[in-house]
Structure 1
Amino acid sequence: MSQLGEIQQAILNDDLGAVASLDVPESYRGVTVHKDEAGMFEGLESRDKDPRKSLHVDEVPTPELGPGEALVAVMASAINYNTVWTSIFEPVSTFKFLERYGRLSPLSKRHDLPYHVVGSDLSGVVLRTGPGVHNWKPGDEVVAHCLNVELEGPDGHNDTMLDTEQRIWGFETNFGGLAEIALVKANQLMPKPGHLTWEEAASPGLVNSTAYRQLVSRNGADMKQGDVVLIWGASGGLGSYATQYALNGGAIPVCVVSSPEKAEICRKLGAELIIDRNAEGYKFWKDEHNQDPKEWQRFGKKIRELTGGEDPDIVFEHPGRETFGASVYAARKGGTIVTCASTSGYMHQFDNRYLWMNLKRIIGSHFANYRESWEANRLIAKGLIHPTLSKTYSLEDTGQAALDVHRNAHQGKVGVLALAPEEGLGVRNHELREKHIDGINAFRNV
């Protein structure tokens, strides 16, 4: 049996104490993009770029373990939109990130390679820890958040997201979670929720923490009870968590979706106010260069019909260019537009009169710090927020999983199995699971 096979077997047999005595393999399989293929999609529109052509499953060397770091045997991972960006080399090739990181120190030079092991989520078991790691040990069952920080300068010590060397693991660093082994900083680790399977536990990390900071944290919109929250893509990876946080926090979500099936998912979560943007036929852009304010107005009227005449206190933004003008218009006077992404385009346009004359605010929100990520994971572990996993692929089919996300042909989150040989493994707390099984399965096979 191979070294990885021995590790896998020990985990599957719940013999976690044996993990420390097993040798770490010299190589493992990881999902990669290749530096010499960075130009493969030049001249194509984004929608025509196919992640199946650029994502490979390669045998790669196990990286050197440095101070403050951990190697994790990855049981499962998940697809985020940053993996789509990496796979289609937009807006820039992520090898530029690795080159920049490689210049920081001799240790970070490890990341500057002709291949990039991608992925910003994982669940698994700690294999080894480096010098200076005291809170984690081999055999610990963990999930990882994706904030990579150096914290050598002062800027990040109030909010680590402001660290000058803040990066997203698996996107702006190498050795990510779509692999059999991953390299993380020890302060990325959090306890695996015991009532979830490996693939369920792997799926919330990035999007759950992002939604928590964006909507709940004082660093984001600081949502309060009774707030009307407009949520774009409310059944998707980010929006499904925003919808749950709004409902849990006593807010009133207005869920924007693109199909009756997605509307039904929001209803299953407990939301009542739903806009099917395709059924309503909203076209916020007349052409490539000009938006249609009359469509903003029609959209705002629809929101007020649902809320009894109230405009949104908070707009949960992530589509970007396609929707941003409508978002700025729709927010109430003094309201907040909080944005964490631009999946439809980065160059936003909006009518600034609606912003300045109505005293609205635009807040940029990017992932989450360790405290916010820990709180978001704690809510998962307590069964107060549920994973939104809809489908799981094998490591070999990661390209297809990324294509699903790229074409919005998915609901919630799409998972990927690594060392876990099948779905349904890894549950420790069966009583808590049974209590929340409907919530856990809300997105399954939809």
Structure 2
Amino acid sequence: MEAIHQAILDEAPGEELGRVPLPATMRAAVVRKSEVDLFDGVASQDKDPRRSLHVDEVPIPPLGPNEVLIAPMASALNYNTVWTSIFEPLPTFGFLERMGRTGELGARHDLDHHIVGSDAAGVVVRTGPGVTRWRPGDRVTVHCNYVDLEGPEGHEDSMLDPGQKIWGFETNFGSLADLSMVKANQLMPMPTHLSWEEAASLGLVMATSYRMLVGENAARMKQGDVVLVWGATGGIGGFATQFVLNGGGVPVCVVSSPEKAALLRSIGVEHVIDRKAEGYRFTAGDGSPDYGEMRRFGARIRELVGRDPDIVFEHPGRTTFGASVFVCKRGGTVVTCASTTGYLHEYDNRYLWMHLKRILGSHFANYHEAWLANDLVDRGMIHPILSKTYPLERAAEGAYEMHHNLHAGKIGILVGAPEEGLGVRDADKRARHAERIAAYRTLEA
């Protein structure tokens, strides 16, 4: 691996990189099948990814048709790595076992360890049979829609394919490893003005936000739409805020500290609600919905922008969903994914059906949506929201911070890159956007 990483850092020609021998084993951040009972009887908030997410030496991924072996120079954490590492809502080895039953290629994924990670920026080192677009030496970012498209259902929208999976969560051989196996249709050109860790922080949450707000398959935001964004400095909320601003919408951003509010104002957000400072709690002491609090929250939104939200960008789930339905305007849309505070949502259906509101479920993005979002970054219209990085050996610390909401933006993981700041090719373009690229660093702990 040292020779491969050095060739990449030296920007060796692709032919030369393709001749560097592959190692038999590599470093990888994994959960172990033998530990799925590790947290039995432990409350969810007390499950510690630092106990279950290990950096082990494991065999390199085998390569099949239409697949590519990449060397991730950097990766980034998503909440699915937290779920995997605390074995909730169920151990991900069930996903790998189901893949194993699909045939010889699927059986490669059914191992006693699960290599996690669903974001990467790196370099192609090998291509399998049938790959024609990509070659060794290509610098790429990776989106996490893992799909074969053998059936007809997904050919209009690949997210509807019955075999669609999230790479590094529902598949093995994810990005927190020296070598990772992806499908050729997961690759996109790396933006030329970003470092490895900045480019790695884009894929999952950015494309998810794009589909929810901008693409043809979910809320389809228009110019002038008021969009309520929960967790507006987190990974998915941070990109949502940018898409609203970039698309002519009016974001109303909910955050949890004055520092996060200040960051949003520095990038052009006018309307920010600090939920902790203003004391919003939408559930009463007995667990019932607190409609008085929801009315107070709705009044605060109207005080800021003079109207109810056209769209509510909903991803916390259980703790906010009832309020999201309540404050959304008559005829408006609640678009939802993730549910990081819980999957079981409670809301008053009268406020949905009598006011003709819609709830739209949205899950990641298809290749075209991910490609268009990535292109906006390369054109300098959307920017990374990276707040800090860890080396691969400390990935579990980052997962712990994410589990306890001790972070903002994205947490990057250096894999092949020995330090931050490497990989930039277009210094002039970077200089034009340097302030926005660095914005989230103000929140680095």
Counterpart of 1:328, as a letter, is: V
Residue 120 of structure 1 is matched in structure 2 by: 118
Alpha carbons of structure 1 residues 288 and 216: separation in structure 2 relative to 1, 3 Å: farther
Counterpart-to-counterpart distance in 1, 2:36 and 2:215: 37
TM-score, structure 2 length as denominator?
0.98
Residue 294 of structure 1 is matched in structure 2 by: 292
**DSSP-derived class of the 1:316 partner:** strand
Residue 224 of structure 2 is matched in structure 1 by: 226
- The answer as to 2:244 corresponding to 1:246 is yes
**DSSP-derived class of the 1:170 partner:** coil
Counterpart of 2:126, as a letter, is: R
Q: What is the percentage of aligned positions where both structures have the same residue?
A: 62
Residue 333 of structure 2 is matched in structure 1 by: 336
State the aligned residue count.
Answer: 442
Deviation at 1:287, TM superposition (A): 3.4
TM-score, structure 1 length as denominator?
0.98
Residue 127 of structure 2 is matched in structure 1 by: 129
Counterpart-to-counterpart distance in 1, 2:392 and 2:46: 23
Residue 265 of structure 2 is matched in structure 1 by: 267
Is the 8 Å Cα contact of residues 61 and 179 (structure 2) preserved in structure 1? no
- The answer as to 2:377 corresponding to 1:380 is yes
Counterpart-to-counterpart distance in 1, 2:174 and 2:13: 23
Residue 306 of structure 1 is matched in structure 2 by: 304
Counterpart-to-counterpart distance in 2, 1:160 and 1:237: 23
1:440 paired residue among 409, 425, 437: 437
Kindly report structure 1 stretches of 4+ aligned residues shifted beyond 4 Å. Answer: none
2:351 paired residue among 351, 354, 357: 354
Q: Note the 1:6-405 alignment, pairs <5 A.
A: 6-17=3-14, 18-287=16-285, 289-308=287-306, 310-405=307-402
Counterpart of 1:292, as a letter, is: D
Deviation at 1:445, TM superposition (A): 4.3
Counterpart-to-counterpart distance in 2, 1:16 and 1:275: 51
**DSSP-derived class of the 2:136 partner:** coil
Is the 8 Å Cα contact of residues 391 and 445 (structure 1) preserved in structure 2? no
Counterpart-to-counterpart distance in 2, 1:330 and 1:105: 48
Counterpart of 1:7, as a letter, is: I
Is the 8 Å Cα contact of residues 33 and 113 (structure 2) preserved in structure 1? yes
5+ residue gaps, structure 1: none
Name which of structure 1's ranges 285-294 and 411-420 shifts more when overlaid on structure 2: 285-294
Counterpart-to-counterpart distance in 1, 2:64 and 2:381: 36
**DSSP-derived class of the 2:176 partner:** coil
**DSSP-derived class of the 2:197 partner:** helix
Counterpart-to-counterpart distance in 1, 2:36 and 2:284: 34
Q: Deviations over 1:316-362 (max 9, x none)?
A: 00000000000000100000000011000000000000000000000
**DSSP-derived class of the 1:155 partner:** coil
**DSSP-derived class of the 2:240 partner:** helix
Counterpart-to-counterpart distance in 1, 2:180 and 2:286: 42
Counterpart-to-counterpart distance in 2, 1:405 and 1:268: 24
Is the 8 Å Cα contact of residues 221 and 338 (structure 1) preserved in structure 2? yes
Counterpart-to-counterpart distance in 1, 2:13 and 2:302: 55
Counterpart-to-counterpart distance in 2, 1:235 and 1:126: 32
- The answer as to 2:414 corresponding to 1:417 is yes
Counterpart-to-counterpart distance in 2, 1:272 and 1:173: 41
Counterpart-to-counterpart distance in 2, 1:389 and 1:105: 39
Counterpart-to-counterpart distance in 2, 1:39 and 1:293: 40
Deviation at 1:47, TM superposition (A): 1.1
Counterpart of 2:285, as a letter, is: D
Counterpart-to-counterpart distance in 2, 1:384 and 1:55: 35
Deviation at 1:59, TM superposition (A): 0.7
Counterpart of 1:385, as a letter, is: I
Counterpart-to-counterpart distance in 1, 2:286 and 2:64: 49
Counterpart-to-counterpart distance in 2, 1:334 and 1:25: 57
Is the 8 Å Cα contact of residues 115 and 168 (structure 2) preserved in structure 1? yes
Counterpart-to-counterpart distance in 1, 2:265 and 2:49: 32
Is the 8 Å Cα contact of residues 16 and 140 (structure 1) preserved in structure 2? no
Is the 8 Å Cα contact of residues 328 and 350 (structure 1) preserved in structure 2? yes
Counterpart-to-counterpart distance in 2, 1:253 and 1:234: 9
Counterpart-to-counterpart distance in 1, 2:218 and 2:254: 20
Counterpart-to-counterpart distance in 1, 2:421 and 2:386: 12
Counterpart of 1:225, as a letter, is: Q
Alpha carbons of structure 1 residues 47 and 104: separation in structure 2 relative to 1, 3 Å: same
Counterpart-to-counterpart distance in 2, 1:128 and 1:153: 27
Name which of structure 1's ranges 97-106 and 123-132 shifts more when overlaid on structure 2: 97-106
Is the 8 Å Cα contact of residues 234 and 243 (structure 1) preserved in structure 2? yes
5+ residue gaps, structure 2: none
1:406 paired residue among 371, 381, 403: 403
